[in-house]
Chains A and B, each alone.
Chain A
């Protein structure tokens, strides 16, 4: 059950994108997301599609895996598309009963759907090509400036990577507790959703107790190995920018430039024509 929640888990192959510095990928994803929100005409989406397709191609991850993540947002996608489709005012194309479909509605719904799909696929490109550890390392390094305003960024990223390490252990433990309770007659299968949720409660008590015990043990083990926060710590695998990262940043700049141009140009041209 828990094992199925995977929006783009790391896909272990070797590609340019896999070898890229995690900070570069994080920044790229951010640029891409921002660019999707400034997009408002067909040319914007054409450029975004080209950019995304190039990234997918470079990552060498099969498209199948990219699209998998969409299942999780399918419901959201349907809702937002239908709302946009039926509730936008404008020139009517046809109507079924009280539902009016307008030209503007089709346009916004289409763009909305594209935007959502690109958001999910775009961020999967990052998670599929970056190990969770690299990701937390990248976050720590690129958010390092927050340390100046006393945000414990090292601690947060340490917590994230420890959480990642313990997820499979706790999943296994949940499984064990479930089986032990089922052996004594607990019923997790039958009943409606609320009843099912209620039957989970006795599961969480032992799970929490064990998680806390593990946390104390781990804290002691970390202290025994001289962990004392981020101060004076060196890195086994320090992050280093290479030439491909520079190339990536230049591509981002070019891409963002194109997007802004595509967004502004039609309006500017329009005005020019009117002036003439």
Chain B
């Protein structure tokens, strides 16, 4: 059994008028089944309104399923008395870096989670030190969060989650409001946590470049899973992705176009180096093909 499991998951956003009559029902998740392995790096892709954020909020027990169920480490998120245990194990990082930092000083913010779950003072300090070190933010520990860049703030937010010693981190579009440098910082940090500490990572994103390094990519559409596989699998299905209004990384797109033009390039190219390797023999072969 995976660390996270969802079966027949349905969630409806219900809008009511003043008299509490149901005005409209939006089905955000539609009989979704998914299982996520411990220690894996899973990326979730999808267009706006595909239900990916709703799924994330279910894993953290912020939302409760309308139908079906979600289990985190075998605990059902519908049980009220397990809620804090679940949130401790599955930490969540949100999109807006400003709106999730509570402390007025970096180290105090990182200590906020452990304070809430009643960790003794000495242990809090130990965890804060370790978490700040893990995201490489120790140098900023006495700073005010307002003085940090977006990428640094997100790393503080990640440290805040790490200090609760989770098994799994869910990142809900953590890079959407960051500049390219900040995005790289955050993704590097997350990958390191996954590799070194064995934390299960669920990364929700719009940016295809961030997905390339994942173990598994899940593409969502209309509250269901549309595609599921390794990045190479997924990105070799360029047409299918485009029909879901999603892009592929630029390199993959180039390789795809070259292939369509009749060049001998394999499907699902993910990096520039890979493409170069495939192209070199073709180019140096001097078959006189014009590109």
List chain A positions with a Cβ less than 8 A from chain B.
Answer: 131-133, 161-162, 164-165, 168-169, 214, 217-218, 220-228, 232-238
Contact = CB atoms under 8 A, between A and B. Distances in A.
B124 interface: yes
Interface in B78-125: 84, 87-88, 91-92, 94, 96, 98-105, 107-108, 111-121, 124-125
13 contacts: A169-B146, A217-B100, A218-B100, A220-B94, A224-B60, A224-B62, A225-B91, A226-B116, A233-B118, A234-B124, A236-B121, A237-B108, A238-B121
B83 to A, nearest CB: 9
A168 B148 CA distance: 13
Nearest to B108: A236
Given A169-B98, A225-B160, A226-B164, A236 B104 contact: no
B124 to A, nearest CB: 5
B124 A236 contact: yes
B99 A221 contact: yes
A238 B107 CA distance: 14
Contacts of B111: 236
Interface of B: 60, 62, 84, 87-88, 91-92, 94, 96, 98-105, 107-108, 111-121, 124-125, 128, 145-146, 160-161, 164
Nearest to B117: A226
B108 A133 contact: yes
B128 A236 contact: yes
Contact of B146 (A168, A222, A224, A238): A168
Given A168-B146, A233-B118, A236-B114, A225 B164 contact: yes
Nearest to A223: B62
Contacts of A161: 104
Contact of B87 (A131, A218, A225): A225
Nearest to A227: B116
A224 B92 contact: yes
Contacts of A225: 87, 91, 102, 112-113, 116, 160-161, 164
A218 B117 contact: no
Interface majority SS on A: helix, strand, loop or mixed? helix
Contacts of B94: 217, 220-221, 224
Nearest to A164: B104
Contacts of A164: 104
Contacts of B101: 165
Given A226-B113, A236-B121, A217 B99 contact: yes
A218 B119 contact: no
Question: DSSP majority for the B interface?
Answer: helix
Contacts of B117: 226
Q: Which 3 A/B pairs are nearest by Cβ-Cβ distance?
A: A221-B100, A236-B111, A217-B99
Contacts of A218: 99-100, 102
B88 to A, nearest CB: 6
Contacts of A232: 118
A93 to B, nearest CB: 53
Residue of A165, A168, A217, A220 ringed by the most chain B CB atoms within 10 A:
A165
B124 A214 contact: no
Given A234-B115, A236-B124, A228 B99 contact: no
A162 B121 contact: no
B99 A214 contact: yes
A227 B160 CA distance: 13
Contacts of A233: 115-116, 118
A224 B119 CA distance: 17
A165 B104 contact: yes
Contacts of B105: 133
Given A133-B105, A217-B94, A218-B100, 8 more contacts: A221-B92, A224-B91, A225-B161, A226-B113, A236-B111, A236-B115, A236-B128, A238-B121
Nearest to A165: B104
A162 B115 contact: no
Contacts of B91: 224-225
A164 B119 CA distance: 25
Nearest to A232: B118
Given A165-B102, A226-B116, A228-B116, A217 B96 contact: yes
A236 B125 contact: yes
> Which one of B84, B98, B105, B128 has the greatest number of beta carbons of chain A within 10 Å?
B98
A133 B102 CA distance: 12
Counting chain B CB atoms within 10 Å of each CB, which of A131, A225, A235 scores highest?
Answer: A225
Q: Which of B96, B125, B164 has the most CB of A within 10 A?
A: B96
A214 B95 CA distance: 12
A188 B291 CA distance: 59
Nearest to B120: A234
Contacts of B100: 217-218, 221
Given A223-B62, A225-B91, A234 B84 contact: no
A227 B116 CA distance: 5
